[in-house]
Amino acid sequence: MTDSELKKQMCENLQDDYLLNGSSDLSDFELLEKTLSLAVAKNNSKEIADNLMNEFNNLKSVSVASPKRLMQIDGVNEQVATYLSLMRDILARIELRKNQSVDVLADVNSAIEYAKNMLLFQDVERVVLITLDEDFRVIKSDYISQGTANFANVMPVEISKRLVAEKPCYVVVAHNHLVDNGEPSFSDVNFTINLTNWLSQFGIKLLDHIIVCKSCSTSMAMEEEYKFIFD
């Protein structure tokens, strides 16, 4: 049997097994291996899955890695990196669409979930601006910059246009950390202070700055150390 014939047989066996038994009994490693077997040209999906899990430790970390980062792993070529990244983009879109059914951010937990839906599966740092009316109903949410949260990067002129058009009473800002650490950086704190002061010129209150990372999320407004910014 040639390599291509063996590969075809393995894929057919995988498809039959999945359609019959599903994936609930599979470990994370087994699930990744079987997924990769549909993407790799050679019969080395187990080796690639092992390399990825050794490097990233869990499926979530694999899923949010950029194509460039994935291709640093032995055995991961452009085809595999593209396949995994497309899977991540599908997950990101599913999470984002959860927000379509959310009308009100009534508390911190609802704001965190809303931010996570927009940021958890991003492979670059992005900043989100959520505008709210006087009853905390969502007016609009959008990505306002890409890269580290920095006041110079969020294009105040563009935000000003949004504020004039949307006339919010409140704003929630959020961004993601690519490293698995939700602790606000010095830059995050400065950004929050500057944004609070800038929004106050429009009579708008910044309710929170939420930081999303792989395993946790931080509400700066709920952290005793940073409450002074939001008072």
Domain final residue pick, 94, 121, 136: 94
Domain count, the chain: 2
Residues 16, 10 contacting (CB under 8 angstroms): no
Same domain, 130 and 89: no
Same domain, 83 and 109: no
Same domain, 157 and 62: no
Domain final residue pick, 94, 113, 134: 94
Q: Report, as an integer, the average pLDDT of 189-211.
A: 93
Cα–Cα distances (Å) from 31 to 6, 37, 165, in that order, read 20, 10, 47
Same domain, 51 and 130: no
Count H helices and E strands in the chain, helices first.
Answer: 10, 5
Same domain, 90 and 107: no
Same domain, 64 and 117: no
Q: Which domain holds residue 124?
A: 103-230
Same domain, 70 and 184: no
Burial degree of 62 (CB within 10 A; 0-12, 13-18, 19+):
buried
Q: What is the CATH number of the domain that holds 129?
A: 3.40.140.10
Same domain, 83 and 110: no
Same domain, 217 and 107: yes
Say how many Å lie between the first and final Cα of the chain, rounded: 71
CA 146 – CA 213 distance, rounded (Å): 15
Domain final residue pick, 45, 73, 94: 94
Element (DSSP H or E) covering residue 78:
helix 78-97
Same domain, 47 and 122: no
pLDDT tier, 180 (very low <50, low <70, confident <90, very high otherwise): confident
Q: Has residue 21 got a pLDDT over 90?
A: no
Q: What is the CATH number of the domain that holds 60?
A: 1.10.150.20
50-91 tens-digit pLDDT:
999 999 988 888 988 889 999 999 999 998 899 898 888 888
Residues 32, 59 contacting (CB under 8 angstroms): yes
3-state secondary structure of 6: helix
Q: Report, as an integer, the average pLDDT of 112-133.
A: 93
Cα–Cα distances (Å) from 199 to 9, 102, 117, 169, 189, in that order, read 61, 24, 25, 10, 15
Same domain, 47 and 141: no
Same domain, 107 and 195: yes
